[in-house]
């Protein structure tokens, strides 16, 4: 499908900041002149008492059912038939367009291949009686043209919300019917091409992540031996007669000369304790304060808060581990810091990075010990008694240095692919916006 960019003399000022220039023969319009908008409001809300099992009612959609601006029904919640029938105007059918107006504001979905009765929860609005190509209307909702209007209107405190009245007055374009269908078909094709490339790159990231995890596991448990030949590393699989049963399920077999020890025998553990709320400050005049999962995922996290009266301290370059859900996430400190209740610090008596890599692959074991109904957590004693494998200091250093080099290369590759994915997403979003505002003419 061919297209071209319209020249400047084919365009005119729409008079609306978010639309910019549009083709001379196009007109601006508002959503209220293009579609009807419905939401679950007032007394027609529902509570957990209205939720039922599958087969006893209709699907009630939530923002979690929209992934990458598409409807995903892999997880479903059901509402009673009485509640479903109570609000016929928000029954969902194929070709409807959905928009999230509360919390995950701006999520959009085009309904297709729906084979069950469905409705929406109060976080949604649904567009019906759309007097333009429904798919094109959906692309308008996805475009930066409309998303920018949404961002400018968000209000509220903890939860951001849009009113239906505001949504009705958002600007879009009025386009002739023949051109509507061409643009919608063009965007279907082009966005599918982008999505295919993105999915392949995401699949590659998954494979690289699994390869990294497998490499760490094989090396830190001794199933593969790291050798240094010249100035290069070489990894060789050990023969079965060089191995013994560790007696620990997650470790499996380890080299005969290696030992199994408990974490408390190779480290000093300090469980975190959150400071008083008045001790937590936002500027950097205090000590960096880490609470748990929101700071995890990368080495040397940037703190969100600081503390001027810490109760528990982790020293420079200690290992941090989350002891409350999600249990087992790891990080390294890059400064002396205050640690909250959800964390523990580990001062290693063996090679720090060797232990760090070992704990990386022990996450499933750690999670298996976690208990609690509100927050899953692992106790001090459970953490101290986790069994790990150790070897000589020299071999620990060699393994740690090898993994530092190899994992850095894998991480660098993953980072580059993630940047490529972001650029592809930006290009896709840009193409949608250019097409729905006529800057691109579909031939």
Q: Which residues of 257-272 are buried (b: 16+ CB within 10 A; e: fewer)?
A: ebeeeebeebbebbbb
Distance CA 435, CA 426 (A): 14
Residue with tokens 């043209």: 145
Q: Which two tokens stand for residue 375?
A: 């927050």
Beta carbons of 324 and 373 less than 8 angstroms apart: no
Buried b vs exposed e over 322-335: b needs ≥16 C-beta within 10 Å? bbbbebbbbbbbee
59 torsion bin: left (phi>0), alpha (psi -120 to 50), beta (else): beta
Angstrom distance (rounded) from CA 123 to CA 389: 50
First-to-last alpha carbon distance for the chain, in angstroms, is 7
Distance CA 41, CA 195 (A): 35
Q: What is the DSSP string of 318-344?
A: -EEEE-BSSTT-EEE-SS-EEE-TTEE
Quickly tell me which residue has 């990458």 as its tokens. Answer: 68
Give me the helices (H) in 347-392, please. 352-361, 363-369, 380-384
Same fold, 12-179 and 259-390: yes
Residue 160 gets which letter from DSSP?
-
> pTM for this structure?
0.84
pLDDT for res 428: 97
Alpha helices for 133-176 (secondary structure H): 134-142, 144-153, 164-168
State the pLDDT at residue 377.
Answer: 87
Q: What tokens does 153 get?
A: 């209107």
**Fold entry, domain 259-390:** Adenine-n6-DNA-methyltransferase TaqI; Chain A, domain 2 (3.90.220)
Task: Provide φ and ψ at 86, rounded to 5°.
Answer: -65, -30
Q: Which CATH architecture has domain 12-179?
A: Alpha-Beta Complex (3.90)
Residue 84 dihedral angles phi and psi, to the nearest 5° = -65, -45
Q: What DSSP line would sit under 72-95, residue for residue?
A: --SS--EEEHHHHHH-GGG-B-TT
Q: From residue 103, how far is each of 165, 168, 402 by CA, in Å?
A: 17, 19, 45
Contact, 372 vs 327, CB < 8 A? Answer: no
Distance CA 59, CA 43 (A): 19
Count CB-CB contacts under 10 A for residue 144. Answer: 17
C-alpha span between 331 and 301 (Å, rounded): 8
Q: Give burial (CB, 10 Å; 0-12/13-18/19+) of 362.
A: buried
| Cα–Cα distance measured from residue 440 to residue 22, given in angstroms and rounded to the nearest whole number | 10
pLDDT, position 92: 97
Other C-beta atoms closer than 10 Å to the C-beta of 307 total 23
List the domain boundaries for the chain: 12-179, 259-390
The encoded tokens of residue 243 equal 């191995």
> Digits of tens for pLDDT over the chain (443 positions)?
799 999 999 999 999 988 999 999 999 999 999 999 999 987 778 888 999 999 999 999 999 999 999 999 999 999 999 999 999 999 999 999 999 998 889 999 999 999 999 999 999 999 999 999 999 999 999 999 999 999 888 865 555 788 999 999 999 999 999 899 999 999 999 999 999 999 999 999 999 999 999 999 999 999 999 999 888 899 999 999 999 999 999 999 999 999 999 999 999 999 999 899 889 887 778 898 888 765 555 445 567 788 999 999 999 889 999 998 788 888 888 889 999 888 999 999 999 999 999 999 998 888 888 887 667 889 999 999 999 999 999 999 999 999 999 999 999 999 999 999 999 999 999 999 999 999 999 99
* pLDDT in the model for residue 63: 94
For residues 164, 166, 167 and 171, what is the CA-based torsion angle, rounded to 10 degrees? Answer: 160
Distance, CA of 99 to CA of 360 (rounded, Å): 40
Q: Write out the two tokens for 193.
A: 């091409």
Q: What is the pLDDT of residue 291?
A: 80
**Inter-helix orientation angle 352-361/393-436, to 10°:** 60
In this structure, what token pair is assigned to residue 401? 């240095």
pLDDT of residue 155: 65
Nearest one of 85, 90, 158, 150 to 120, comparing CA atoms: 90
């Amino acid at each position: 499908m061919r297209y071209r960019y319209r020249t400047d003399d084919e365009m005119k000022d729409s008079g609306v900041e978010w639309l910019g220039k549009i083709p001379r023969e196009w007109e601006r319009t508002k959503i209220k002149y293009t579609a009807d908008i419905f939401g679950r409001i007032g007394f027609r809300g529902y509570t957990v008492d209205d939720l039922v099992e599958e087969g006893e009612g209709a699907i009630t959609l939530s923002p979690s059912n929209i992934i990458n601006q598409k409807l995903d029904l892999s997880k479903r919640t059901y509402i009673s038939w009485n509640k479903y029938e109570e609000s016929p105007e928000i029954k969902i059918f194929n070709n409807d367009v959905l928009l999230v107006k509360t919390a995950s504001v701006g999520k959009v979905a085009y309904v297709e291949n729906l084979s069950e009765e469905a409705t929406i929860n109060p976080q949604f609005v649904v567009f019906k009686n759309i007097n333009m190509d429904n798919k094109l209307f959906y692309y308008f909702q996805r475009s930066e043209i409309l998303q920018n209007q949404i961002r400018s209107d968000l209000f509220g405190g903890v939860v951001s919300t849009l009113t239906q009245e505001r949504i009705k007055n958002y600007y879009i374009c009025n386009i002739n019917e023949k051109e509507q269908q061409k643009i919608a078909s063009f965007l279907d094709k082009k966005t599918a091409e982008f999505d295919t490339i993105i999915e392949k790159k995401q699949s590659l990231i998954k494979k690289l992540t699994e390869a990294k995890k497998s490499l760490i596991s094989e090396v830190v448990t001794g199933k593969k031996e790291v050798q240094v030949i010249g100035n290069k590393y070489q990894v060789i699989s050990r023969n079965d007669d060089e191995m013994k049963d560790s007696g620990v399920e997650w470790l499996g077999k380890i080299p005969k000369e290696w030992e199994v020890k408990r974490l408390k025998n190779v480290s000093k553990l300090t469980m975190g304790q959150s400071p008083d709320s008045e001790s937590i400050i936002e500027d950097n005049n205090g000590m960096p304060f880490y609470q748990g999962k929101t700071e995890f995922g990368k080495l040397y996290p940037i703190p969100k808060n600081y503390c001027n009266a810490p109760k528990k301290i982790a020293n420079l370059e200690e290992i941090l581990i989350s002891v409350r859900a999600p249990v087992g996430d790891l990080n390294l400190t890059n400064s002396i810091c205050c640690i909250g209740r959800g964390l523990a610090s580990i001062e290693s008596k063996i090679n720090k990075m060797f232990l760090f890599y070992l704990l990386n692959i022990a996450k499933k074991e750690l999670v298996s010990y976690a208990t609690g109904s509100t927050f899953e957590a692992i106790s001090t004693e459970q953490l101290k008694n986790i069994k790990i494998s150790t070897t000589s200091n020299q071999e620990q250093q060699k393994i740690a240095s090898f993994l530092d080099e190899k994992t850095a290369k894998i991480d660098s590759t993953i980072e580059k692919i993630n940047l490529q994915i972001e650029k592809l997403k930006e290009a896709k979003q840009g193409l949608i916006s250019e097409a729905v505002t006529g800057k691109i003419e579909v031939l």
